[in-house]
Amino acid sequence: MLKDKEIREHFPHISWLLSAEELPSTNTVAKELASKGVPEGSLVIAQRQTGGRGRLGRDFQSPEGGIYLTLIMRPDGRLEQCTMLTMAAAVGVCRAAEKHLGIHLGIKWVNDLYLNGKKICGILTEGAAAGDKLKYAVVGVGLNYQSPEFTGELADKAGSLYPHSEPPLSLSAMAGAVAAEVYRACKSFGSEEVYQEYKQRSLLLGRTITLPDGREAKAVDITRDGRLLAEFENGHTLALNSGEVSVTGILI
């Protein structure tokens, strides 16, 4: 069961908290609240989701034992900068894992975190605009913390940090710690510090990747606004805004 006191203790800048045993999607609820004026730094968290979503509308499995939270942010920016918020959030989750668990996670562009070749965390940022300015953004994090081992098609793709053992921090405390680091990083989204840290943690840069159309190229850079630069053997480069890319043998 989620313990609000532990969440708040590890996220001292929290503005408002909604915690629940079950929600359809923390992002969906957060967007409803943000549209009603709930302040920046508010947090929506659930023990499990019945309709969790990933990028491109994909389902996101949300078994009990995971950390499912969404932060409401009101940054001074534009709608197209949501990718930069995703990058900042990825850095924030990595910082929390290192600081509190001693675990180093790697980032697979643009929004997934990996450990030992398996996806551990996904991030989904959504925003609403007023004119050319962001009215609000919701930053969703799904972290497989004490989730049971995945089976079936996901067995070789998804992992959990502590499927069989007790972690150093309770789920509630770690949720607060993750939210705090994500909030801090998102407040500095677009900064040189966050940008460089995102690239340093990248699992793709310098590797040969397979593009969505099946072609192979080398991942040579990630732009400040979150595009992946791929270079072909003939020297031609391509900037990817989105899409799944793969690399053989992701290990950290």
Residue 159 shares a structural domain with residue 217: no
For residue 31, the enclosing domain spans: 4-200
Residues 6+ apart with CB under 8 A from 231: 217, 218, 220, 237, 238
CATH number at residue 97: 3.30.930.10
Pairing of strands 106-108, 67-73: unpaired
CATH number at residue 244: 2.30.30.100
Residue 153 shares a structural domain with residue 216: no
Rounded to two decimals, the pTM is: 0.93
Q: Residue 151: its pLDDT value, please?
A: 82
pLDDT digits (tens, 9 = 90+) for 107-124: 999 999 999 999 999 999
Residue 173 shares a structural domain with residue 230: no
For 27-31, 60-64, 110-114, 207-211, which range has the lowest pLDDT when averaged over its residues?
A: 60-64
Average pLDDT score over residue span 182-198:
97
The model's confidence at residue 246, banded by pLDDT at 50, 70 and 90, is confident
Percent of the chain with pLDDT over 90: 81
Query: In this model, does residue 103 exceed pLDDT 60?
Result: yes
